[in-house]
Amino acid sequence: MLDIRLDALRLICSIVFSLLLLLFVRRLFIVNSGMNRIGPGIRRTSGAVPVILFFLLIAYQARWQMFGFLDSGFLRVQRGFDPRGTLIGCRFHRGEILDAEGRLLAYDAHRDASLIRTYPLNASTLHLVGYHDAVFGSTSMEKELDACLMGRSLTGVGNILRLAGNAFVHRKMNGNPVRLTVYGRLQEKAYRLMDGRTGAVVAVDPRDGAVLTLVSSPGFNPNDLSREKFSALRNHPDHPFLNRVTQGVYPPGSTFKTLVAMKALELGLKPEYVCSEKGFDCGSGQPELHDYQYYAMKERGEVFEGHGRLNLDQALTKSCNVYFAHLGVALGSEHLIGVARTAGFDVQIPAAGPGLPTRAGSVPPDGDISLSRLIRLAIGQDELLVTPLHLALVTGALGSNGTMYRPRYVESEKTCPWRNLTDARTATEIARKMIQVVEFGTGQSARIPGVIVGGKTGTAENASGRSHAVFIGFAPWPGPVIAVAVVIEQGGLGGVVAAPVAAGLFKAAEEIGLFDAGMETGP
Amino acid sequence: MSRRAKQRRYFLARSDEFWLLCITMAVVTWLFLGGMSVRMNDNGLDPVDWLLPGVFFLSVFAAHGLLVFAGSRADETILPVGSILVGIGLAYQYRLGGSAAIDIHDAGKLVLLMSPLVIAAVSILFRRNRLEWLRKPGWFWVVLTIAIPVAMLFWGVDYRGSRFGPMRTTPAEYGKLAALLAYTFILCRYGDSLDKQRKLFSAEANRAHRLISAVWIPAPFLYAMHRDLGIVLISAVLILALLHTATGRRVYWLAGITGAVAGGWLFRSYVSRGAVRFQAWLEPFDHPADAGYQIIQSLFALFHGEVIGRGVGEGFPRKIPLVHTDFVYASIAEETGLLGSGLVLFLFFYLSRRAMAAAGRSESLFQILLATGAGTLIWVQVLLNVGGVIKLIPMTGVPLPFISLGGSATLVFSILTGWILAVSDVRDEVKRSAPK
């Protein structure tokens, strides 16, 4: 009983203190005005400086004392380091992050009278949702959505009044929940399919750019971060902090052939070439370009006989390097570089609303390039680099009407087209060829029963060792609702390693019921 | 006129001061009560504790009596403002106390209780033209300004990252007094050649510039060797303010700001400790457990205080490292809120303003410069301390005048306030321009 009263007594004590001080200051002014004012002295003094400084100091003090809750860094650190946590820290609930089905991806849990940010899907949402920690900062969507999650957006009179009231007494504040376009179930599935391998899986909705899955592997569990763990992760050779979907750039490899074929169709080219076992002669003493089968069979002691005479359909289905070398020469570097620029490989992808920042890929500079570089460009190598997210957007455009949408992370954001890859007719034609790739060609392991899937495999050579396994694909046909890009670093053959991951994801999407919705609203 | 009637007139002439001192006692007593509630919880109330406000009460009114009996016509607001700041400082040190901070059985701390008396005594000692005494041993002050940091280099003691004199005194505080007197002396003697009416870089002016640099530069340099960054800044601002007042040229401020920016950049780039301090200042939230820990705890305290405060004794001062010296203001702000701490802040700047006003009324250049310098020392220390506590500027380890723990610092500021009071005593002039 006495303790409770002591609080109040002490508060009264400090208020009386302030009031008495106020009285003192008032009295000072009265005395001051009564004093004889003698004109300015013979010397100028810096009398204005203290006045200005007083107002500066008091304003900046108020910035913390009254409006500290507007500073997200301050509130974040307060959760971990303020001993008054139970009194004040817990009054500031951060909004939940939900997936497209309303499942929790991140929420504030009460533990030992303090609030702990909790991530129910553990490592699988790490690179998408990020983490929000007093010591380690905040990342990814936790960072991008901060203003909304903390409920301090200065819009609307009511909101501003609420914040103004909070400046005087720091009342309880609840942030706003944010619903993402991502499916938690797909997210978990994708992370499981990666099985700790280094790489990235991303799925977008081709119709509006909604991000359905975004997984970078390896990840780590954001729920139990500690200093030791953190420094160990920092020095981990696989760089678990890197978001490979948006920040990792890879050579697209053979998946780029879809764009080369698209360019050829746009120009009305449908050539046939004889693709012999000798490969493509680059001239000037450079080694010939061969198909991967040539090397594979050579290793087994067999002899590759060559693909023979191929048209565009067959070449894409078989992913014939020699054919595309011929086609690349026929198109010329201008068109090859042009199509990569049309797809925006060299620019950062802007998101629709808040979204993860992306790294720009690279395209060789305009101008003439040597023959050996030209044909490597035609098969998606050379200086061509792109993020997995970008590949997914390209796939989506090819699978639908040729438009690339800005990736959309937050459900309430409006759909926003980014750039036009091609016209709808050409896109459909390429999509049909991609379906053949999965039906009869290199991408057969992406097949799932009862659904028509389109895709393209890639095996991207790189300087650091084994080839990266790449797969891009969409499902179902007609009217795809999901476009996927999978990259597995140094995984080997795209058709063997990456395509099954896409198949697993398509299956999961079907189970969730995404395809049913797609059928209803399909084009 | 009978002696009695004369005394009565003297008292009436200072009646405003009397009432202000009454409010001072009320304010300080309230604060003591808050502090006592904390002490009661911690280790029980010692009856001797009551001596603290009691002796302070006697000291305050003895100071007032001294001024009355001396027939002082000095500014009536200065003693109350100085006393109330000392009182708040005492009460807060007592409240923060625990066992280590302030022990009222410690005779050294009694100096703090005597501060109002020191203010009054100094002002009477130096009143009217007796301040000019200080001008005579001018070269002695110059030598002392440089000798103090040199002596500390040899006989100083390192304790908790700072350099102290023998027996953990802080001679650097007295160094400020010496520097103020030295700069004032030099500017009085050689400042004419720098006057606004003349060319800035005439041969004569350059001689003065050289002399001022020769006196000013060694001391901060030596203090920098003691890792005392605060006093480097303080003496820089001091000399700039005095130059401005003596010559009427604003260009010195401009040069000073340029120098400060350049110096800050060098400090940050080439001194490892500087980089840490800037990191703690600019991005404390990225380093909450190490570099930014102290400042973050201070900001939490501010935030917790809201506008009216939590109540004296309801804060968590022990969470802030070095709360007694550098961060008292954060604790005051937590317990008395933006309102209470803002008023305390106001009092500092008011005192500084009164110093400038006293300077403005004086006719002696020496006194003008002395009062301006004293006022500048007050605001610059408050700016460096409070600015650091609220994260406006990097921490420099400068104590808050009158309030931070430290006998030497409080004594020095009491003397400065005494001088301001002495300068403001322009009795003859008041007579000449009778009130309307």
DSSP state letters, B293-330: HHHHHHHHHHHHHTTT-S-TT-S-GGGSTTTTTT-HHH
Is A52 touching B (CB cutoff 8 A)? no
pLDDT reading at B105 higher than 60: no
* φ, ψ of residue B65 in degrees (nearest 5): -60, -40
Q: Assign B433 a pLDDT band (cuts: 50, 70, 90).
A: very low
HSE-CB of B350 using CA atoms within 13 angstroms = 24
Is A12 a member of any domain? no
Q: Who among A14, A38, A57 is closest to B336 (CB)?
A: A14
Mean pLDDT of B252-262: 89
**To 5 degrees, how large is the angle CA B103–CA B109–CA B113?**
115
A-B C-beta contacts closer than 8 Å? 242
Residue B199 confidence (pLDDT) above 80: no
The predicted pLDDT at position B23 comes to: 95
Q: Domain check: are A139 and A266 in the same one?
A: no
- In a shared domain, residues A170 and A221: no
Q: Is A13 on the interface with B (CB under 8 A)?
A: yes
| Residues present in chain B in total | 436
A4 inside domain: no
What average pLDDT does the structure give for chain A? 86
Q: Are residues A196 and A229 in the same domain?
A: yes
Contact B80 A34 (CB under 8 A): no
Does residue A25 fall inside a structural domain? no
d(CA B81, CA B87): 10
Q: Is residue A41 part of a domain?
A: no
**A274 and A421 part of one domain:** yes
pLDDT in tens, A319-366: 888 889 889 888 888 899 999 999 999 999 999 989 999 999 999 888
pLDDT computed for residue B268 by the predictor: 83
The SS3 assignment for A99 reads: coil
Of A158, A179, A200, the one marking the end of a domain is A179
pTM of the model: 0.81
Boundary of a domain, candidates A179, A198, A217: A179
Q: Which whole-number Å values give the CA distances from B296 to A73, B286, B287, B289, B382, in the listed order? A: 11, 11, 9, 9, 20
pLDDT of residue B68: 92
Residues A430 and A516 in one domain: yes
Residue A521: is its pLDDT beyond 50?
Answer: no
For residues B355, B357, B362, B364, the Cα torsion angle rounded to the nearest 10 degrees is: 50
Q: Is A494 contained in some domain?
A: yes
Taking phi over 0 as left and psi of -120 to 50 as alpha, with beta for the rest, B406 belongs to left
Can you tell me the ipTM of this complex? 0.91
Tell me how many degrees the CA angle A9-A11-A17 measures, rounded to the nearest 5: 100
Write the CATH number for A386: 3.40.710.10
Identify the residue with better confidence: B428 or B138. B138
- Residue to test with chain A: of B18, B28, B30, B196, most A Cβ within 10 A: B30
Query: Does the pLDDT at position B26 exceed 70?
Result: yes
Task: Examine the domain organization and report whether A263 and A311 are in the same domain.
Answer: yes
Search chain B and give the residue with CA nearest A32. Answer: B77
Distance between B400 CA and the closest CA of chain A, angstroms: 14
A78 to chain B, any CB pair closer than 8 A? The answer is yes
Structure confidence at residue B1 as a pLDDT band (50, 70, 90): low
Tell whether A444 and A430 lie within a shared domain: yes
| Confidence tier at A103 by pLDDT (50, 70, 90) | very high
Supply the DSSP string of B335-400, one letter for each residue: HHHHHHHHHHHHHHHHHHHHHHHHHHH---HHHHHHHHHHHHHHHHHHHHHHHHHTTSS----PPP
Across the interface, whether the CB atoms of B30 and A88 are under 8 A apart is answered no
Within 13 Å of residue A153, how many CA atoms lie on the same side as its CB? 12
Q: What mean pLDDT value characterizes chain B?
A: 85
Which CATH number does the domain housing residue A141 bear? 3.90.1310.10
Same domain, A136 and A188: no
From chain B, pick out residues whose CB is under 8 angstroms from the CB of A80.
288
Same domain, A204 and A248: yes
CB contact under 8 A, A61 and B357: no
Give every CB contact of residue B203 below 8 A, 6+ residues apart in sequence. none
Query: What is the sign of the dihedral through the CA atoms of A508, A511, A514 and A520?
Result: positive
The domain boundary residue, chosen from A141, A160, A179: A179
pLDDT at position B232 is: 85
Number of domains in chain A: 2
Q: Is residue A47 part of a domain?
A: no
Instruction: Report strand pairing: A97-98 vs A482-488.
Output: unpaired
Probe site for chain A from B356, B363, B380, B398 (most A CB atoms < 10 A): B356
A87 Cβ under 8 Å from any chain B Cβ:
yes
Same domain for A127 and A267, yes or no, is: no
Question: CA A390, A391, A392, A396 torsion: positive or negative?
Answer: positive
- Upper half-sphere CA count for residue B122 (Cβ side, 13 Å): 22
Instruction: Give domain status of residue A20, yes or no.
Output: no
Per-residue pLDDT of A3-47, as tens digits, reads 567 888 888 888 999 999 999 999 998 887 766 454 444 556 667
| Residue A481 near residue A514 (C-beta atoms within 8 A) | yes
- Provide the pLDDT confidence category of residue B431 given band limits of 50, 70 and 90: very low
Distance CA B245, CA A2 (A): 57
Q: Does residue A64 sit within a domain?
A: no
CA distance to partner chain A, nearest, from residue B322 (Å): 17
Judgement on whether residues A321 and A308 belong to the same structural domain of the protein:
yes
pLDDT tens digits along A55-102: 999 999 999 999 988 888 888 888 878 877 555 555 678 889 999 999
| Smallest Cα distance from B422 to chain A, Å | 16
Structural domain for A214, as ranges: 184-521
Highest mean pLDDT: which of A352-356, B150-154, B278-282? A352-356
A303 close to B (CB below 8 A): no
- Cβ-contact A476, A453 below 8 angstroms: yes
Structure tokens at A215: 């997984």
Task: Give residues with Cβ within 8 angstroms of A226, minimum separation 6.
Answer: none
Residue B341 amino acid letter: S
CB A426 within 8 A of CB A266: yes
**Cβ contacts (< 8 Å) between B430 and chain A: which residues?**
36
Closest CA to A97 of A6, A176, A43: A176
Angle, to 10 degrees, between the axis of helix B15-43 and the axis of helix B78-96?
Answer: 0
Give the span between the Cα atoms of A161 and B107, in whole angstroms. Answer: 54
| pLDDT of B272 | 79
Residues A431 and A514 reside in one and the same domain: yes
